[in-house]
Structure formats: structure tokens, C-alpha cells
């Protein structure tokens, strides 16, 4: 069995995003991502101020960037944006805004805590509209140090390096999360397809041979495999994505699934695509959803010989 997934694909046999960006798509992604930056940045600043622990701060850094990226992803979906590269670019821009927003809220929670609501709003808006003032405060903080750990207070270039790393984490997580590679789109009906990731289970087989068969439209191999017993802890799963409005758009995915345990002993599944978003007739996807009766495992004799091939006992 070939357990590598880096196999050559035939482009015309697989789904490829059209690259379309609707007129309102850009504005929707920018608004969604920036709104998430403002909201999540506020809570991140509060955690930074009142729970200054390493684990909490690391979780905030990762969660803030991922949350902003998730907002861009969701916005791209509702706006029907089918251009992964452009979506990542928007996520990059929003990530830069998220870095700026994080600084605005950071300065807010560390200054003027006793003012009334209107005064607080005015201060926040003031920080948002005065990037030069933020730079001046950053320079002051870098000279004095912002925090200490085990008696060490980073200052100057070291603190700038830490801030730069933090900003890169915000941006990189936002870009990484912004695109959902599992989504497919029906251009004819102008809608996202509906996914069913576990239509059937199959035993392991040669990945390259399976991929070649499916690309050559020899779909009967799926019926042969899914009628055989399989190890549910190390198996192949058949999934499909179909258009909810027409019978033309249909994509097939076969994934290698392994089951392990996490640190607490709970079962976890790891899935890697073997064949992803292969264009197939709708009847193939529908057929995979119909259960088949598994063939019983071949019994063996005490000597290890296949019972079906052993000589019959004399009468």
C-alpha cells in the first residue's frame, strides 16, 4: 500500500474554485473581519490586563488571530467568494488591522480606568484615529519595559522583537484560517454544496491504484471495497459534496482515517485526503449512500489454510 498522498492529479477531473469575487464580497469580508477584530481585541486586552499568565497570553495570541481568520472565512462564505488567494489577501489586511486594534485596546485598559462611559468611548476613538500617538506610547513602553518574568524585564529591541512575533502570529493565523479547503460550489445554481463526509467505510488498499481507478471512472472499485470488512481504527471513508438544488454538481472524496487517543485516553480521528473533490456523476454519490452487506471475513483452518479452499472432509 502506498501511504503517501502526494499523487499527481488530473486537473479536469477535480473541482477548482472559479475565482469569482462578487461585488460586495470584499466589503463583506473586510467588515466581518474588522468587526471581529474590534470585539475579540477588547476581550484579549482584558485578559492581557487581568490574567497576565504565560498560558493565558499564548492562548489569547493564537485565539485572537484564529478568531479573526474565522470571521473572514464566514464572511467569504456568506458573500459567495470563490477566490482562495484573494480571501487570504483580505485576511492579511484584516490581520494588520487586528494588530492595530489590539494596541488600541491594550492602551485603553491600561489608562483612564475611572472615567465615565462617554469619556471612555472618546478615548478609544481617539486612539483609533491617532496612530502617531500609539507609536509614541510604544516607544515609551519599549524604553521602560511592559512586564517582567523571573526578574527579567525585556526592553528596547528585545521587546520590539516580541511584539513583532506576536503581530506575525495574529496575521499568520488569520490568513491560515480564512480559507476552508473543504468547501465546493455549484456555479450553475450559485450555491455552496452540501457535504456528507462519511457515506461509507472501506478497508485500506493501494492509494495510487485507487486514485487511478477513480480518475478513469472505474467506480465499481468502491462497491468492491465497501463490501469488505475493514478495521474501523485504520480505514478509508467515502464522502461526497452535492448541490442541494440540481443533480449535476457532485464531488467525491476518499479519506484515510486513523483512530488514536488523546492525552486523556479519549478516541480521536485523524483524516487525510487520498482523493479530494473528484468530479463524479450524481448517481455515484447517491449510490455510496446506500449501505451494502459486508462480505464475511474468510474463515481459516487450524493450519492457517483458507477454509473455502480446504479439501472437504470425507463422508
Can you tell me the distance from the alpha carbon of 92 to that of 161, in angstroms, rounded to the nearest whole number?
20
Pair 87, 217 in one domain:
no
Listed residues 151, 177, 203: the one ending a domain: 177
Listed residues 177, 195, 227: the one ending a domain: 177
Q: Establish if 7 belongs to a structural domain.
A: no
- Three-state DSSP class for residue 203: coil
Is 273 in contact with 6 (CB distance < 8 Å)? no
Pair 156, 212 in one domain:
no
Closest CA to 222 of 257, 254, 182, 256: 254
Contacts of 156 (CB under 8 A, 6+ apart): 142, 143
Q: Digits of tens for pLDDT over the chain (315 positions)?
A: 544 444 456 778 999 999 999 999 999 999 999 999 999 999 998 888 888 777 887 888 899 999 999 999 999 999 999 999 999 999 999 999 999 999 888 888 877 656 555 666 777 777 777 888 888 888 888 888 776 677 777 888 888 998 899 999 999 999 999 999 999 999 999 999 999 988 999 999 999 999 999 999 999 999 999 999 999 999 999 999 999 999 999 999 999 999 988 878 788 999 999 999 999 999 999 999 888 765 655 544 445 455 444 444 443
Is 86 in contact with 94 (CB distance < 8 Å)? no
Pair 63, 154 in one domain:
yes
pLDDT of residue 305: 53
- Three-state DSSP class for residue 189: coil
How far, in whole angstroms, is CA 210 from its chain's centroid? 26
Q: Establish if 12 belongs to a structural domain.
A: no
Pair 157, 269 in one domain:
no
Q: Establish if 67 belongs to a structural domain.
A: yes
Pair 194, 275 in one domain:
yes
List the domain range (segments joined by +) for residue 61: 25-177
Pair 213, 82 in one domain:
no
pLDDT of residue 296: 55
Q: Establish if 9 belongs to a structural domain.
A: no
Q: How many CA atoms lie within 13 A of 119 on its CB side?
A: 6
Can you tell me the distance from the alpha carbon of 296 to that of 308, in angstroms, rounded to the nearest whole number?
12
Count of domains for the chain:
2
pLDDT of residue 76: 97
Pair 106, 224 in one domain:
no
Q: Establish if 308 belongs to a structural domain.
A: no
Is 45 in contact with 102 (CB distance < 8 Å)? yes
Pair 205, 263 in one domain:
yes
Closest CA to 75 of 177, 189, 195, 210: 177
Q: What is the pTM of this model?
A: 0.81
Alpha-helical (H) ranges within 129-253 are 131-144, 156-177, 207-215, 220-226
Pair 38, 105 in one domain:
yes
Q: Establish if 232 belongs to a structural domain.
A: yes
Listed residues 177, 198, 214: the one ending a domain: 177
Q: Establish if 313 belongs to a structural domain.
A: no
Pair 98, 219 in one domain:
no
Is 81 in contact with 188 (CB distance < 8 Å)? no
Q: Establish if 254 belongs to a structural domain.
A: yes
Pair 87, 212 in one domain:
no
Q: Which helix (H) or strand (E) holds 242?
A: strand 234-242
Contacts of 227 (CB under 8 A, 6+ apart): 292, 293, 294, 295
Pair 152, 55 in one domain:
yes
pLDDT of residue 280: 97
| Dmax (CA) of the chain | 101
Is 279 in contact with 214 (CB distance < 8 Å)? no
Contacts of 29 (CB under 8 A, 6+ apart): 72, 75, 76, 79, 81, 87, 90, 91, 94
Amino acid at each position: 500500500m502506498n501511504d503517501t498522498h502526494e499523487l499527481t492529479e488530473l486537473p479536469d477531473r477535480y473541482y477548482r474554485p472559479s475565482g469569482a469575487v462578487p461585488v460586495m464580497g470584499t466589503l463583506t469580508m473586510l467588515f466581518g473581519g474588522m468587526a471581529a477584530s474590534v470585539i475579540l481585541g477588547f476581550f484579549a486586552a482584558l485578559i492581557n490586563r487581568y490574567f497576565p499568565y504565560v498560558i493565558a497570553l499564548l492562548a489569547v495570541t493564537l485565539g485572537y488571530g484564529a478568531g479573526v481568520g474565522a470571521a473572514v472565512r464566514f464572511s467569504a462564505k456568506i458573500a459567495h467568494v470563490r477566490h482562495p488567494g484573494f480571501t487570504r489577501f483580505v485576511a492579511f489586511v484584516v490581520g494588520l488591522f487586528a494588530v492595530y486594534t489590539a494596541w488600541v485596546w491594550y492602551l485603553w485598559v491600561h489608562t483612564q480606568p475611572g472615567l465615565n462611559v462617554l469619556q471612555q468611548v472618546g478615548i478609544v476613538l481617539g486612539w483609533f484615529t491617532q496612530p502617531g500617538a500609539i507609536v509614541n506610547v510604544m516607544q515609551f513602553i519599549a524604553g521602560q519595559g511592559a512586564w517582567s518574568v523571573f526578574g527579567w524585564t525585556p526592553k528596547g529591541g528585545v521587546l520590539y522583537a516580541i511584539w513583532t512575533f506576536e503581530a506575525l502570529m495574529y496575521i499568520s493565523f488569520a490568513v491560515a484560517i480564512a480559507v476552508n479547503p473543504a468547501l465546493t460550489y455549484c456555479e450553475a445554481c450559485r450555491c455552496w454544496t452540501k457535504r456528507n463526509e462519511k457515506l461509507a467505510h472501506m478497508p485500506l488498499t493501494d492509494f495510487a491504484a485507487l486514485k487511478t481507478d477513480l480518475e478513469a471512472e472505474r467506480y465499481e472499485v468502491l462497491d468492491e471495497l465497501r463490501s469488505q470488512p475493514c478495521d474501523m481504527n485504520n480505514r478509508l471513508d467515502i464522502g461526497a459534496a452535492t448541490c442541494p438544488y440540481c443533480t449535476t454538481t457532485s464531488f467525491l472524496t476518499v479519506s484515510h482515517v486513523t483512530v488514536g487517543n488523546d492525552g486523556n485516553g479519549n478516541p480521536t480521528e485523524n483524516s487525510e485526503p487520498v482523493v479530494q473533490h473528484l468530479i463524479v456523476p450524481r448517481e455515484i454519490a447517491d449510490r455510496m449512500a446506500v449501505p451494502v452487506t459486508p462480505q464475511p471475513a474468510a474463515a481459516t483452518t487450524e493450519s492457517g489454510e483458507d477454509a473455502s479452499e480446504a479439501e472437504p472432509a470425507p463422508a
